Structures are given as C-alpha cells and as structure tokens.
C-alpha cells in the first residue's frame, strides 16, 4: 500500500511539474489570445490608457473575444513575439511581413495610420533629408526597424527608451533632431516642429499575430468589428487628437 501511495505521489508531482511548465508558456492552446503591448507614445501605454488600447477594449467587448495583454518595452515586445512566446503584438506588421513573409503572420484591420517625420525644436526648421550628413538623430529602441533605411548611413541614429526622453534631449541640444511618428507626437506639437512635406515613411498599426487557425479566426472576427467602428466615426470620437484618417489598402 505504501508503494502504491509512493508511485501515486510521484505521478502527482510529475503532473504538477508539467502543469507548472505549461503555465510559463504564454502560447498555450486555449481561447485566450496573448498580446504583447509595446510602448508607443500615447497609443499603447503601461497603464492601459493608450488610444489603441481603448479602441481594442471596445472591440473586444462587442466581439466576445478574450485577450490577455501584457506591456513590455518596445524591443522586448518584438523579441517575445519572434520567439513565439506571445500570440500577437500591437503594430510591427510591415516589419514582420518584410522579415518573415506574409505567410507567417496575419494582421487585423488597422487601429490607425502613422507617418514618421523628423522633428526639430520649435524655433528651428527641419532640413531636407539629404542635408542630414553628420547629424545626430534621436529615435526609440526598436524604431530602428523602420528608420534605418529611411535615414540612410550618413547620420547617427541614437536610440533611447522613449519619445519623452528624446524630447528632453532635443530641448537640451544633445541631439540635432528626433525621428518620431504622428499621431504619436500630436500632443507635443506646441514645443516641436516638423515639415509635413518631408515624411520619412508611412504605414498602418494593426494587431499582428502568428498565423494559426486560432489566431486567424481571432483576427477575422476582430477586423469586422474594428472596420465597423472606424466607419461609424467611433475611432475619431475616442480621441480626435490622435485620430489620423486613412483608407485601408487592399
């Protein structure tokens, strides 16, 4: 009897160990979508108040979909997605399409559009891109995935953890210009300036997921709700300052 009890105890320990290991794998095969939330100024925030987070929250309420969102630094979020430790991530769609191919990921109807520009102090003007040789450009860690090719090799791209840091460095004269996106920077346009005629690049922010049966079904249902929200004017109503109108490409 004691021997049977011993083997039962061992079996229970093994089952517990397997369960504990599975609990560390955020890509478990359940109904919950595990979403990495990278820091994107005013759009995805650690306290959950970002513009995109508000859009997604309303869409989830209406769709009955279940998402577990975890906030990470920008570059860490991308690393976790590429390691397969989360199902989905805010943004990075264009980067992941180009790096891994469209067959590897599936992406939602846009949460919004964005355009990168160079920003200068309010009292200064922004030079042409071909006049930046030798200049120090502030960027955010992870944004180099977008910016490196747009800026070229003749500038120094100095990367920090957030746009708020670059705003301070720009004010102090520690960098010559900063590269950042609209609508992210809209709340700060009283202290910085940019040239609308010189965009660095434009794209769309979407929920991007590893392609699987579960994730594809999630994206299809979510996209239907998001499209209806945008067309009804709800995107704009949630935050007019951060809404940048767009027409989704085919």
Could you tell me which residues come within 8 angstroms of residue 235 by beta carbon, excluding any fewer than 6 positions away?
55, 112, 229, 243
Architecture of the domain whose range is 114-203: 3-Layer(aba) Sandwich (3.40)
pLDDT above 60: residue 72:
yes
Q: Residues 107, 209: contact at Cβ < 8 Å?
A: yes
Mind listing the pLDDT tens digit for each residue in 83-135? 999 999 999 898 898 888 889 999 999 999 999 999 999 989 999 988 999 99
Per-residue pLDDT at 144:
83
- Say yes or no to pLDDT of 21 above 60: no
Q: How far apart are CA 167 and CA 178, in angstroms?
A: 8
**20/24 Cα distance (integer angstroms):** 7
List, for residues 173-228, the tens digit of each pLDDT value.
Answer: 999 999 999 999 999 999 999 999 999 999 999 999 999 999 999 999 999 999 99
Q: What is the dihedral of CA 181, 184, 188, 193, to 10 degrees?
A: 20
Q: Which CATH superfamily is domain 25-111+206-242 in?
A: Periplasmic binding protein-like II (3.40.190.10)
120 secondary structure, DSSP code: E
Alpha carbon 89 to its chain's center: 6
Q: What residue spans in the chain does CATH classification 3.40.190.10 cover?
A: 25-111+206-242, 114-203
Percent over 70 (pLDDT), the chain: 87
């Amino acid at each position: 009897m004691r021997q049977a009890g011993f083997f039962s105890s061992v079996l229970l320990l093994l089952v517990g160990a397997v369960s504990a290991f599975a609990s560390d794998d955020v890509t478990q095969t359940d109904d919950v979508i595990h979403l990495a939330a990278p820091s994107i100024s005013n759009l995805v925030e650690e306290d959950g108040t970002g513009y995109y987070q508000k859009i997604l929250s309303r869409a989830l309420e209406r769709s009955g979909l279940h998402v577990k969102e975890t906030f990470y630094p920008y570059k860490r979020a991308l690393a976790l997605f590429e390691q397969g430790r989360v199902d989905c991530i805010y943004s990075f769609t264009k980067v992941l399409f180009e790096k891994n191919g469209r067959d590897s990921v599936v992406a939602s109807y846009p949460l919004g559009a964005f355009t990168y520009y160079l920003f200068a102090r309010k009292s200064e003007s922004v030079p042409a891109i071909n006049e930046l040789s030798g200049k120090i450009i502030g960027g955010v860690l992870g944004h180099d995935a977008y910016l490196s090719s747009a800026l070229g090799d003749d500038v120094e791209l100095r990367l920090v953890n957030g746009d708020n840091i670059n705003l301070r460095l720009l004010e102090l004269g520690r960098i010559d210009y900063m590269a950042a996106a609209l609508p992210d920077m809209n709340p700060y346009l009283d202290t910085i300036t940019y040239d609308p005629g010189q965009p660095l690049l434009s794209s769309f922010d979407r929920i991007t997921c590893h392609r699987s049966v579960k994730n594809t079904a999630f994206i299809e249902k979510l996209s239907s709700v998001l499209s209806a929200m945008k067309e009804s004017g709800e995107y704009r109503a949630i935050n007019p300052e951060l809404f940048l109108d767009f027409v989704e490409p085919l």
